[in-house]
Amino acid sequence: MASFTRWVRENAQHYLLRDAQARVARAHGITPPPIHGSVFWTRVFVPVYRLTPWAIRRRFMVAMPGSHRKHWSKPTPPAGPAV
């Protein structure tokens, strides 16, 4: 299961990054790089993701296992004065 969720996360990151690069290029009057790839990721996932409110996106991210769920431990306070 972990390998599937990793695959989903990596593809989502890849296609969202490519879409962001294309939008920035268009905003600056530059020809965007060609976007080739899966029809699902380019024509379905990216537009739906961009229209989805943040609260719903966050629920999906928390529900899926992955690197975004790492919890950092609290730092331990120093034992005494620094010398």
Mean pLDDT computed over every residue of the chain: 84
Q: What is the mean pLDDT of residues 25-46?
A: 90
Separation CA 81–CA 83 (nearest Å): 6
pTM for this predicted structure: 0.69
For residue 66, pLDDT beyond 70: no
**Domain residues of the chain, as ranges?**
2-68
Q: Is 34 helix (H, G, I), strand (E, B) or coil?
A: coil
For residue 25, pLDDT beyond 90: yes
Q: Are 11 and 66 in contact (CB under 8 A)?
A: no
Per residue in 44-57, pLDDT tens? 999 999 999 999 98
Separation CA 8–CA 76 (nearest Å): 36
What does the CA dihedral 48, 52, 56, 59 come to, rounded to 10 degrees? Answer: 50
Separation CA 62–CA 31 (nearest Å): 36
Separation CA 73–CA 11 (nearest Å): 29
Q: Are 9 and 64 in contact (CB under 8 A)?
A: yes
For residue 8, pLDDT beyond 80: yes
For residue 69, pLDDT beyond 70: no
